[in-house]
Amino acid sequence: MLGTHANSHLKEDIRDYWSRRSETFDLAFGHRIPDGPEFDAWAAAIRERLGPAPRRVLELACGTGEVTRLLLSLGHEVTALDFSEAMLAVARRKHAGARGLRFLLADAENPMEPDESYDAIVCRHLVWTLTAPERAFSEWYRLLKPGGTLLFFDGDWAAPTRLGRLASRAIAAIDRIVGADPHYDGAMSDRHAGIMQRLPFGDGLTAGRVLPLLEAAGFRDMAVGSHAPIAAAQRRTADLRNRLRTLLYRRFILVASRPPAPAAPS
């Protein structure tokens, strides 16, 4: 685990990185969730794993509030947390007047919410950037009610798959012809790489690495699902360069439960 001093510097760098991207984040492919097949695919992935609404959901690292939009559309009561004021400002604007939604400026690794206060914790693209994953998972376990669900969407962003390497060459060729996409993550890639190399999962986040940590935190009934239906839905409306981007990295969906409380002896 990283030392506290190094950790706080790293967190500030991470927060600053995302804050600078907040106003254009929704313009980068893969972040905004357009209405239509992609929205439906994400919603189905959540509905399948969280069960019927409404549930009390803590959404960690809500960013610009795209997953928030999905959770609200499914009827959940949402606390949407992020540690970047700039990201939260975009999300607040997007969801002005929404019912059943509360925003929280806090650290997802230490949200300081009461014990056993949520039915579900949901996050997309947060786990890879945790600075102290073991501690964060224990916190998340504490916040869930017995029987509650942790659901996250993430991927191994450290190295493209074999097919991804081919796709990446094709994307580079398109960039040379039409110009690079200024909003895609690569636009700040030196800073991104500088942060990645200091993260516990900076050399790659896989389900195989994360499952034992979740188990050690107390989670059970873990299941790893495929991101393929969402990627297929993205390809239905994306242009060629973005279709290729859906092939770059290995992504996964992970669900885990806090075990239900044991029945009281009769």
User: How many residues are present in the chain?
Assistant: 266
CA distance linking residue 160 with residue 152, whole number of Å = 20
The answer to whether 223 and 255 are in contact (CB under 8 A) is: yes
Considering the complex, state which of residue 50 and residue 87 has its C-beta at the smaller distance from ligand SAM: 87
Dihedral angle over CA of 26, 42, 116, 81, nearest 10? 0
Residue ranges in 69-88 that form contacts with ligand SAM under rule CB under 6 A: 82-84, 87
CB of 40 to ligand SAM, least distance (A): 17
CB of 45 to ligand SAM, least distance (A): 13
CB of 173 to ligand SAM, least distance (A): 26
18 is an interface residue for ligand SAM by CB under 6 A: yes
Query: Do the strands 56-60 and 77-82 form a parallel or antiparallel pair, or are they unpaired?
Result: parallel
CB of 71 to ligand SAM, least distance (A): 11
142 is an interface residue for ligand SAM by CB under 6 A: no
CB of 216 to ligand SAM, least distance (A): 20
CA distance linking residue 233 with residue 36, whole number of Å = 9
134 is an interface residue for ligand SAM by CB under 6 A: no
CB of 130 to ligand SAM, least distance (A): 7
CA distance linking residue 123 with residue 111, whole number of Å = 13
The answer to whether 118 and 58 are in contact (CB under 8 A) is: yes
Exactly one of 28, 41, 46, 66 binds ligand SAM (CB under 6 A); which one? 66
CA distance linking residue 56 with residue 77, whole number of Å = 5
Give the CA radius of gyration of the chain. 18
Considering the complex, state which of residue 122 and residue 244 has its C-beta at the smaller distance from ligand SAM: 122
Site string for ligand SAM, 109-128 (x = CB under 6 A): x-------------xxxx--
CA distance linking residue 254 with residue 150, whole number of Å = 8
61 is an interface residue for ligand SAM by CB under 6 A: yes
Exactly one of 31, 76, 251, 258 binds ligand SAM (CB under 6 A); which one? 31
144 is an interface residue for ligand SAM by CB under 6 A: no
CA nearest to 71, candidates 155, 149, 17, 127: 149
> Cα–chain-centroid distance for residue 206?
14
Residue ranges in 90-109 that form contacts with ligand SAM under rule CB under 6 A: 107-109
Site residues for ligand SAM per CB under 6 A: 14-15, 18, 31, 61-63, 66-67, 82-84, 87, 107-109, 123-126, 129
